[in-house]
A and B are shown apart, each in its own frame.
Chain A
Amino acid sequence: ILNVEQSPQSLHVQEGDSTNFTCSFPSSNFYALHWYRWETAKSPEALFVMTLNGDEKKKGRISATLNTKEGYSYLYIKGSQPEDSATYLCARINTGTASKLTFGTGTRLQVTL
């Protein structure tokens, strides 16, 4: 993997469903991974910053895991609600390039009643 890749590109779930997305990235020279939520007509907001292999972070119904050796991170949403509808972005920081984020194209989630 040369760049940060996210899958699926878009997702449509029913309220109450649990879902997850994938962020894949080059495992070499890894320093940190960010997850952001970007709601329509708003600014992207940070969800998690992860650095260590095996890291798990949780914020309410949203959680994320990190595998730096194989180069992937999962974002989980438990019991999706309509307010979870947004584009979820992941971004990677390489060693030696502190604060320079390389973003994936995002996963667009739509939660319907």
Chain B
Amino acid sequence: DGGITQSPKYLFRKEGQNVTLSCEQNLNHDAMYWYRQDPGQGLRLIYYSQIVNDFQKGDIAEGYSVSREKKESFPLTVTSAQKNPTAFYLCASTPTGGIGEQYFGPGTRLTVT
């Protein structure tokens, strides 16, 4: 089955710890994205990558970092510098990074206490 996997579904961390969220796709898509959802707000773009070894900041990149060493993987690290890390995180991909529809993973809910 082709798709996007995110693991784990739920993640708990103590304040001050960095945590890495996994996103893997076997759709052979070039572009990948990370979004964050908070209650009452739309999905907000954190980082995106249109090609391996390249990525750009989205609208709310502060406190996050990413890497894109392989086409199928786009991990997101939530650093201790992120002031409000508790949120639902969604990963997505598109074939070429154009205006086409995005394919989403199931998401990871991160709770930091």
Contact = CB atoms under 8 A, between A and B. Distances in A.
A99 B102 CA distance: 9
Interface string A39-80: 000111110010100000000000000000000000000000
Contacts of A88: none
A43 B106 contact: yes
Interface string A88-113: 01010100001111111110000000
Interface stretch (B12-20, B67-75, B79-87, B90-98): B90-98
Nearest to B104: A43
Interface residues of B, number: 27
Contact of A99 (B97, B103, B104): B97
The secondary-structure label for the interface of chain A is strand
Interface residues of A, number: 24
A46 B104 CA distance: 9
A97 to B, nearest CB: 10
23 contacts: A31-B99, A32-B99, A34-B101, A43-B103, A44-B90, A44-B104, A46-B102, A49-B99, A49-B101, A89-B42, A89-B43, A93-B99, A98-B97, A98-B98, A99-B94, A100-B48, A100-B58, A101-B33, A102-B42, A102-B45, A103-B42, A105-B41, A106-B42
Interface of A: 4, 31-32, 34, 36, 42-46, 49, 51, 89, 91, 93, 98-106
Give 6 closest A-B pairs by Cβ, nearest first. Answer: A46-B101, A103-B42, A43-B104, A32-B99, A103-B43, A99-B97
